[in-house]
Structure 1
Amino acid sequence: MITKDMTRDLIGRQAVDTHGAKVGKIGQVYLDERSETPTWATVNTGMFGTKESFVPLQGADIDDGAVSLAVAKDEVKESPHVGRSDERLTGSEEGQLRHHYGTQDAAAGRSGHGTAADGTAGADRGRGASDDAMVRHEERLRVGTESEETGRVALRKYVVTEDQTVTVPVSHEEVRVEREPIDRDGDAGTARSGAMGEETHEATLHAERPVVDKTTEAVEKVRLDTRTVTEDEHVSDTVRKEEIDVDDPQQALRRDRDARS
């Protein structure tokens, strides 16, 4: 049960319906002017929380940090769009709400006016049954933003094969025959003059050949990063406003102005 002492603690809490579905956050709490018992509250509903609807606090309670209402979410969505001020509910406005939700006043036979408990400044709309003033209302657009997932980007590493050609200089040995004549009177070295016979000399040849080896090296780091880009987007919707015309077939206003002039 919602008591007077719990009034301030209700504001800003999440409201849930009879099935535990989220309805919206409590905006203002309205007290009965006689008993000061919390009777009504406004909840921010609709896209971006731009619509305010009245919900009854009769039968409501705080459960696990949320305000558990005794009405269904669909009832809140279909609640009458009464002309609400920031301070009071008139008797006729409260009557429309009670008729919609099927609630009754705690004190039989009376219909108390609701007064906002948060003290928000605003024009006084409900002055009493004897006030003949007509109040004009307008709808205003309240636009916010919400974050949603628009896509995902992933880094994927895979292996590709490509041909690579590298030029490598290689060398090899070649054999050549050198002939050195021996003079008759010269030094023949180890050659023995007059000795004949078979003899063999061998030379070992060498050549370089390319040798291919592979190594794996780290060449760069690649990571994903995000940045926020702000751009203007135009949002359009239709709003309603009330107009007040004067039905004065007898031109009473004109006569009154002429009399005062």
Structure 2
Amino acid sequence: MTMINTNNIDSLIGANVVDTEGRKVGTVGQVYLESTTNQPSWVTVKTGLFGTSESFAPLDSADWTGDELRIGYDKNFVKDAPRIDTDGSLESADEDALYRYYGLSGSTVGQSTGTTGTYDDTSRDATVGDRRTEGYDTSGPTTDDAMTRSEEQLRVGKEQVGAGRARLRKHVVTENQTVTVPVSHEEVTLEREPITEANVGKATSGPDLSEEEHEVQLTEERVVVDKETVPVERVRLGKETVTEDQRVSEDVRKEEIDYDESDIDRQRRQSRDDTL
């Protein structure tokens, strides 16, 4: 374990905070120093879905391992700590509320910082209170006669994450194609013509009787198959943005304020009802 002091404040900022069971509570947002010793005394822990809430946690029983801060309190107990403005020095009433909540003795707390520097000296003397496991009125016992009602609200954001990869791949497939091709061929036909004055000369030009042979060359068309590779189209990958609605469901807590009427008020109300 590393001792927590002003030399490692920079390392504390942004470090993970875990509770007594090793569960992550949040991350360190700010560090508060004791003005008398200038030593780290409190840290704020960023919690919530996007780290928008900050809860104070004491360092009196915390252990620093160099990469995470282990505090001696339960995760839910830290999250239920009084909600206090973390901008600048702590007000006296806010300090009192924190010390009572964590059951700690009084101390002197200075201004918050992410690095070392100068701090406001603010003396305080808080009494030791009982450690609480449930919330209480954060308006404090010394404020006016109004009670503050708080509630949790969902803050939903969006982030870009990888959803997969697509690629083009080309491979060769063989398929059978049938094409009908008309082809022609020659056939022998026998033609007879009578002897006329027009052809009698050709008919009697040879011997009267003889043996002869005549040949006719026949031709036909044959199908010749050849293959040629030609480009037919171009294919590319593109992207388009499709927007769809997604529902987010989360439990949120809120405080409700009930009115308990006194016996006198109850009697007066009953009397009015009877009169009516």
Normalising by the residue count of structure 1, what TM-score does the alignment of the two structures yield?
0.58
Change (3 A) 1:116 1:157: farther
Change (3 A) 1:246 1:10: farther
- In structure 2, the partner of 1:168 is 181
Is 1:138 equivalent to 2:143 in the alignment? Answer: no
Question: CA-atom RMSD, angstroms?
Answer: 5.0
Cα distance in structure 2, aligned partners of 1:185 and 1:92: 139
Is the CA contact 1:53–1:77 (under 8 Å) kept in the aligned structure 2?
A: no
% identical equivalent positions: 29
What are the ranges of 5 or more consecutive residues in structure 2 without an aligned counterpart? 115-123, 128-140, 264-276
Structure 2 residue identity aligned to 1:90: E
Question: How many aligned residue pairs are there?
Answer: 228
Structure 2 residue identity aligned to 1:194: D
Post-superposition CA distance 1:183-230 (Å, at most 9, x none)? 599653995232411424242331333647585855342536352526
Cα distance in structure 2, aligned partners of 1:190 and 1:112: 149
Q: How does 1:139-154 map to 2 (within 5 A)?
A: 139-145=151-157
Is 1:75 equivalent to 2:87 in the alignment? Answer: no
- In structure 2, the partner of 1:194 is 208
Cα distance in structure 2, aligned partners of 1:111 and 1:55: 15
SS in 2 for 1:168: coil
Is the CA contact 2:152–2:252 (under 8 Å) kept in the aligned structure 1?
A: no
Displacement of 1:117 in angstroms is 0.7
- In structure 1, the partner of 2:42 is 40
Cα distance in structure 2, aligned partners of 1:49 and 1:94: 24
Is the CA contact 1:40–1:54 (under 8 Å) kept in the aligned structure 2?
A: yes
More deviation in 170-179 or 129-138?
129-138
Is the CA contact 1:40–1:55 (under 8 Å) kept in the aligned structure 2?
A: yes
Q: How does 1:206-221 map to 2 (within 5 A)?
A: 206-209=220-223, 211=225, 213=227, 219-221=233-235
Match of 1:2 among 4, 24, 28: 4
Displacement of 1:170 in angstroms is 2.1
- In structure 2, the partner of 1:96 is 101
SS in 2 for 1:27: strand
Cα distance in structure 2, aligned partners of 1:15 and 1:93: 21
Q: How does 1:170-249 map to 2 (within 5 A)?
A: 170-179=183-192, 181=195, 183=197, 187-188=201-202, 192-209=206-223, 211=225, 213=227, 219-221=233-235, 223=237, 225=239, 227=241, 229=243, 231=245, 237-241=251-255
- In structure 2, the partner of 1:85 is 84
Cα distance in structure 2, aligned partners of 1:226 and 1:77: 43
Is the CA contact 1:55–1:76 (under 8 Å) kept in the aligned structure 2?
A: no
Change (3 A) 1:41 1:226: farther
What are the ranges of 5 or more consecutive residues in structure 1 without an aligned counterpart? 105-109, 120-126, 250-261
Displacement of 1:152 in angstroms is 5.9
More deviation in 210-219 or 172-181?
210-219
Displacement of 1:21 in angstroms is 6.7
Post-superposition CA distance 1:142-165 (Å, at most 9, x none)? 413355989768679899887755
Displacement of 1:141 in angstroms is 1.4
Q: How does 1:48-63 map to 2 (within 5 A)?
A: 48-49=50-51, 51-58=53-60, 59-61=62-64, 63=66
Is the CA contact 1:30–1:115 (under 8 Å) kept in the aligned structure 2?
A: yes
SS in 1 for 2:83: coil
Is the CA contact 1:30–1:114 (under 8 Å) kept in the aligned structure 2?
A: yes
Cα distance in structure 1, aligned partners of 2:41 and 2:197: 139
